[in-house]
Amino acid sequence: MKFLVNPSKFNEIADYIFKPVLVLSILFFALGLLFSFYLSPDDYQQGSTVRIMYVHVPSAWLALLTYAIMTFYSIAALAFRMPFGFIFNTAVAPIGAIFTLICIISGSLWGKPMWGTWWVWDARLTSVAILFIIYLIIIFINLSFENRVVREKVVAIFVIVGSVNLPIIKFSVDWWNTLHQPATISKLAKPSIDPSMMTPLIIMTFAFMMIGVAIAILRIKTEIISRKSNLS
């Protein structure tokens, strides 16, 4: 597992796994879209709009997961002086921002027919919007510092301080009475979702994960090269 902390080891492994991951993501996307459009039933209340879930939920999970991994890498990078964590932070922040944006846009497209409004100021929606702004600030910090050593450490500190938002997002549906429904899948008890809807959701989650990993590999490799040539 050394390739997760060592840039040159990462380059070796990434060359091997990039194409398989890309092919896997295309396969999963094809299978997942087939399942979610044709092989899964309509909801008895929501009708066909329930299919938005197969884009909305995976992107939301991955937005949170990306930030959580960034937090772990920032702590490790500051504690063990591990430069790969800084490379990871710089490379992956835009991917997380895009996942959050997909989640917000698909959510508001789903909210218009179901709740009757594009946007409500409820706890879950607000905290996800704040997550999006935190991602944007990380990108802005990356763009606005001249000195690379200061920049990457400031980004890491900001990521750690901003990670207080993650538990707020996760538990916002339990702590406050919100319009957004509480967790149906990621809870300790048995998931309260039918297996016929669970299957496409899982497949789409894997598809999103694979495409995220593929783009992350590309961006991390670019970042390593630009550091070696001392471009930024």
- Site residues (vs another protein, CB under 8 A): 78, 126, 130, 133-134, 137, 140-141, 143-147, 149-151, 153-154, 157-158, 160-162, 164
CA distances (Å), origin 97, targets 32, 121, 221: 23, 20, 19
CB closer to another protein out of 55 and 141: 141
Q: Tell me the closest approach of the beta carbon of residue 137 to another protein, in angstroms.
A: 6
Q: Residue 82 region, left (φ>0) first, then alpha (ψ -120 to 50), else beta?
A: beta
CB closer to another protein out of 37 and 140: 140
CB closer to another protein out of 143 and 189: 143
Is residue 95 within 8 Å of 216, Cβ to Cβ? yes
CB closer to another protein out of 154 and 202: 154
Q: Tell me the closest approach of the beta carbon of residue 134 to another protein, in angstroms.
A: 6
Q: State both tokens at 27.
A: 């396969």
Is residue 11 within 8 Å of 221, Cβ to Cβ? yes
Q: Tell me the closest approach of the beta carbon of residue 168 to another protein, in angstroms.
A: 8
Close Cβ partners of 80 (under 8 Å, ≥ 6 residues apart) = none
Q: Tell me the closest approach of the beta carbon of residue 82 to another protein, in angstroms.
A: 16
Residue at 102: amino acid letter: I
Q: Tell me the closest approach of the beta carbon of residue 130 to another protein, in angstroms.
A: 6
Quick check: helix, strand or coil at residue 14? helix
Which candidate, 122, 108, 103, 100, places its Cα nearest to that of 49? 108
CB closer to another protein out of 26 and 78: 78
Q: Tell me the closest approach of the beta carbon of residue 178 to another protein, in angstroms.
A: 14
Q: Which long-range contacts (CB under 8 A, 24 or more apart) does 171-177 make?
A: 172/123, 172/124, 172/127, 173/123, 173/124, 175/123, 176/122, 176/123
CA atoms of 122 and 126, how far apart (whole Å): 6
CB closer to another protein out of 159 and 214: 159
CA atoms of 64 and 172, how far apart (whole Å): 14
Give residue for tokens 């400031």.
154
CB closer to another protein out of 4 and 157: 157
Q: Tell me the closest approach of the beta carbon of residue 224 to another protein, in angstroms.
A: 22
